[in-house]
Chain A
């Protein structure tokens, strides 16, 4: 009964979405206040319907309802509750329902908190969001119904893959979807602006928080996925340039550019056409990722079960949303008139450079991802594009980008002069140079890590210099505290996000200096790696809930001081005859000590030991970036009064 209710709720949500599309677009076109007033309650209705459907699906998983095909394929009664729940979105059908649920949440938020938006703009945005929701609801109902029944019921589910039962994997997809779907909102704003033929500062004020939120969630999602790869795959890899990883990186890059150019629209009313284009592009890239992952046109671990019928449907959605968006752009974008003028050397100029470089990196990643597929299609040639291409092609673009990231925030709007910028940043540049030379001196001729150390320190120091300058820390230190408190949170957030990237880059540089060692140790024997003494004290058998494991105990000492005790596992699951290795990771903050248990032979065990300097900084930096985004979002200027006043002004002008 409950699965049928869920199915019905999905159909209801589809009907409500279609009504929303018609009412919103027609009402805004005819300026019918009563029609437009209906869009808010309809958005709430869609949210409730999709929420009910999702709740029904979660219920089916928690109760392990084996008459539901989706549950049988992806769950098992012996799974812990957390993984039963996360199993709901660990498969194609369920993840689509989660996707639409988040979209409905965004629609609800635009309806609920958008009271100060011009009503026509709000109605059009809600209509476009509903159009996207209708497309994906249609997709779910036509090709991927999660509530399909099987009869007779299976004795139990089939999904008990231990590798996939992991907290990192449980929260990775929802975070990514929050990011992807957030860009649906900026897309809806861009389409609404194109229909109206007007982009103004109020529009920028509304687009920026959504871009910021989406970008922050996407940052967290990507960092979490990379962290999972690091601790689960076990040889220090954290990014593989896999097509599906690239599919999440592309909207991140486009969103990063959007975030920055929306600032220019808001403050200076320039770069309007470009910002609208980026808003279309960011969501387009999210959809492209969905298509690549779910249609079966490429091979990847992350790819869901492929079905050409699904692929055709998603391609149709892509054609409607990306093609339609860009067609509207070609037709209407000429009407968007920029008004703010600026000199090349200015904050705007730095942001334009940032945009160009980010888009170039995105273009490189896109080309590297799609080229093998198109080469296969057109040239009938099978080739693979791997990390060497991506590394060498993105590095020359990343270097000037990082340089500009430090310079941009200290430049004034409209027109800057070179000398004052240099005055503020000379010591940051010096810090970068010192990092470069120190890394070369300490670690030998390793250019990559040295460049990384330089870039990371430069970014962190430049962010500090920016904050010191804004609070007048050096010129008037007494007033600095009160100035710091008066500084808008967006300024803190921006500096924090830039510094966060610096932390990540330092982590990457540290991983470039990682060392490892393989040793066959008998209990009592020890081996030295990176100045630390690793002693195997014993191997025991441990009984888990559904596995038995061999567990080694390794004491790590620095001289006489005990630094850590590492206990790597090798688990065997009798059901399914699978073996997994659990790496033991101890982090000191400055380095990860990482141990993996291999085969046992000759009375001892093969241990693989890694010393990964600064490794945790990669993900800490990601979290700092997302935190910076969140801090910016909490800026009161983002939320209250100002947009309303500006919107009223814009309305009067038009």
Chain B
């Protein structure tokens, strides 16, 4: 068959297997394999999803409460410059100690939608007197500034980590992410994802009381 004719001319009753792309003996089995490939991919993905769901139940897979190798360790050493245009000072590891109470370190970015969702909770915590230190992660300073101008600044100190170097030392999963650091500067808790009302009341508030 070459590039012939119309629908009518191109014999519609061709037997299965005699399709033009499968003319020889070896080709049909390869075609079979190709046709099986989507199913195989779906099965592999399905097995993975099943393992994730099982992990969600048992706690071994958790996209939110990511266990950190740093829990129980002192916060890594770092110094970050302040954000131009705000009156908040920059942030360094030494600022985490000596506050006389536990502090929160919150990684955020203007391009991160969940950061907007958790913003009212951060504002409320700040109003209640919890020192919150912000790190603007991989964000243009002008955009971070716009975000804070628009929604308010809950941060007592604010460091700019545009290259994301400090985030690597902290083992950041993504933004938003929040760490609780006790009075001695030891990391006690980590939360990847937005802080919701539930997270606040069920997880964070008890910890704040415990380490107060």
Contacts and interface: CB of A to CB of B under 8 A. Distances in A.
A488 interface: no
Q: How large is the interface on B (under 10, 10 to 19, 20 to 34, 35 or more residues)?
A: 35 or more
A297 B49 contact: yes
A329 B46 contact: no
Contact of A598 (B2, B49, B149, B192): B149
Q: How large is the interface on A (under 10, 10 to 19, 20 to 34, 35 or more residues)?
A: 35 or more
A269 B10 contact: yes
A185 B150 CA distance: 44
B149 A608 contact: yes
Interface stretch (B14-22, B73-81, B180-188): B14-22
A339 B28 contact: no
B146 A233 contact: no
B151 A382 contact: no
Contact of A374 (B32, B48, B116, B138): B48
A534 B196 CA distance: 38
Contacts of B21: 338
B53 A297 contact: yes
A326 B7 contact: no
Contact of A376 (B14, B15, B49, B61): B61
A518 B42 contact: no
B113 A269 contact: no
A315 B110 contact: no
B150 A235 contact: yes
Interface stretch (A4-12, A105-113, A558-566, A577-585): A577-585
Contacts of A342: 3
A341 interface: yes
Interface string B137-179: 0100011011101111000000000000000000101100000
B150 A608 contact: yes
Interface in A387-425: 387, 414-415
B7 A339 contact: yes
A291 B151 CA distance: 32
Contact of A334 (B31, B46, B142): B31
B85 to A, nearest CB: 7
B211 interface: no
A546 interface: no
Given A201-B7, A343-B3, A234 B150 contact: yes
A196 interface: no
A340 B11 CA distance: 9
A330 interface: yes
Contacts of A300: 114
Contacts of A338: 19-21
Contact of A233 (B55, B64, B116): B116
B10 A384 contact: no
B60 to A, nearest CB: 9
A296 B55 CA distance: 11
A284 B49 CA distance: 14
Contacts of A333: 35
A233 B43 contact: no
A377 B51 contact: yes
Contact of B56 (A242, A291, A296): A296
A301 B51 CA distance: 23
A427 interface: no
Interface stretch (A92-100, A141-149, A167-175, A273-281): A273-281
A240 B21 CA distance: 41
A333 to B, nearest CB: 5
B52 interface: yes
Interface string A287-331: 000010001111111000010100110010011001100110110
A529 to B, nearest CB: 13
A284 B46 CA distance: 12
Interface string B39-59: 100110110111111011100
B25 interface: no
A338 to B, nearest CB: 6
A200 B113 contact: no
A277 to B, nearest CB: 7
B66 A334 contact: no
Interface of A: 197, 200-201, 229, 233-235, 237, 240, 242, 268-269, 273, 277, 280-281, 284, 291, 295-301, 306, 308, 311-312, 315, 318-319, 322-323, 326-327, 329-330, 333-335, 337-343, 370, 373-374, 376-378, 382-384, 386-387, 414-415, 516, 518, 577-579, 581, 596, 598-599, 606, 608, 653
19 contacts: A200-B12, A229-B113, A233-B116, A235-B150, A269-B7, A269-B12, A291-B49, A296-B56, A297-B63, A322-B42, A323-B39, A327-B39, A329-B35, A337-B16, A337-B19, A383-B173, A384-B174, A579-B151, A596-B149
The 7 closest A-B pairs by CB, nearest first: A598-B149, A384-B174, A326-B39, A382-B173, A299-B193, A330-B36, A339-B10
Given A297-B49, A333-B35, A337-B12, 13 more contacts: A235-B146, A237-B110, A281-B38, A297-B61, A308-B57, A315-B49, A327-B39, A329-B39, A330-B36, A382-B174, A578-B120, A608-B150, A653-B13
